[in-house]
């Protein structure tokens, strides 16, 4: 496994639409393992392949509480089959928009379909943090960042703050 560089705004790669994965093979599993290691090191709870410069429909996630055993999850070609009409606000952050947090309103529950680490199809329901996180990460696959849901002023301020942090580093 290897750590990969996480791209930050305003990197244009983050706005690319990711392509579907043809087959879950050993090369893809290496990518997913690297992504998971990178996410843990950041630290974060979710990471889309595009955030490490790979425009494939792949997400890793771990929502386990701190100081508990890791519970890594892998999502290849995820799709939302259904989303609830009721929504819930959640304060989101993003490894590609470091140190910026703001409230985003999303469907409270979703039903999703994806391929797991072994390439097996999974269909399941998500709610709470799981629903928020999977929708956030799936947005990345469409070239959408959580700050795109904010007002133009808030979005511009967030990007300017990240640019300033990068220059100072």
pLDDT tens digits for range 44-72: 999 999 999 999 999 999 999 888 999 99
β partners of residue 80:
112
Q: If phi over 0 gives left and psi between -120 and 50 gives alpha, with beta otherwise, what is residue 113?
A: beta
Q: Quick one: which of 96, 79, 82 has its CA closest to 148? A: 96
pLDDT at position 69: 94
Active site residue 120: no
pLDDT at position 1: 73
Residue 63 covered by a domain: yes
User: Using CA atoms, how far apart are residues 82 and 113, in angstroms rounded to an integer?
Assistant: 10
pLDDT at position 88: 94
Residue 4 covered by a domain: no
* CATH label of the domain that carries residue 141: 3.90.45.10
Residue 106 covered by a domain: yes
- Number of domains forming the structure of the chain: 1
Residue 3 covered by a domain: no
Tokens describing residue 113: 């379909």
Residue 87 covered by a domain: yes
Work out whether the CA dihedral 22, 40, 6, 46 comes out positive or negative.
positive
State the Rg of the chain over Cα.
15
In this structure, the strands spanning 87-94 and 73-83 are unpaired
Q: What is the pTM of this model?
A: 0.95
Q: Which domain holds residue 141?
A: 12-168
Give the active site residue among 91, 92, 103, 137: 137
pLDDT at position 103: 96
List per-residue pLDDT tens for the chain, 169 residues long. 789 999 999 999 999 999 999 999 999 999 999 999 999 999 999 999 999 999 999 999 999 988 899 999 999 999 999 999 999 999 999 999 999 999 999 999 999 999 999 999 999 999 999 999 999 999 999 999 999 999 999 999 999 999 898 888 7
pLDDT at position 19: 98
Residue 78 covered by a domain: yes
């Amino acid at each position: 496994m290897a750590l990969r560089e996480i791209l930050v705004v305003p990197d244009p790669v983050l706005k690319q639409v990711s392509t579907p994965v043809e087959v879950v093979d050993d090369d893809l599993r290496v990518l997913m393992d690297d992504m998971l290691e990178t996410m843990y090191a950041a630290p974060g709870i979710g990471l889309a392949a595009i955030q490490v410069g790979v425009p494939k429909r792949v997400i890793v996630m771990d929502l386990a509480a701190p100081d508990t055993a890791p519970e890594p999850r892998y999502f290849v070609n995820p799709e939302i089959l259904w989303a609830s009409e009721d929504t819930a606000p959640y304060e989101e952050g993003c490894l590609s928009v470091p140190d910026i947090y703001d409230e985003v309103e999303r469907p409270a529950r979703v039903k999703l379909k994806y391929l797991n680490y072994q390439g097996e199809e999974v269909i399941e329901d998500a709610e709470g943090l799981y629903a928020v996180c999977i929708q956030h990460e799936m947005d990345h696959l469409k070239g959408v960042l959580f700050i795109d849901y904010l007002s133009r002023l808030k979005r511009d301020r967030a990007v300017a703050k990240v640019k300033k942090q990068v220059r100072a580093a």
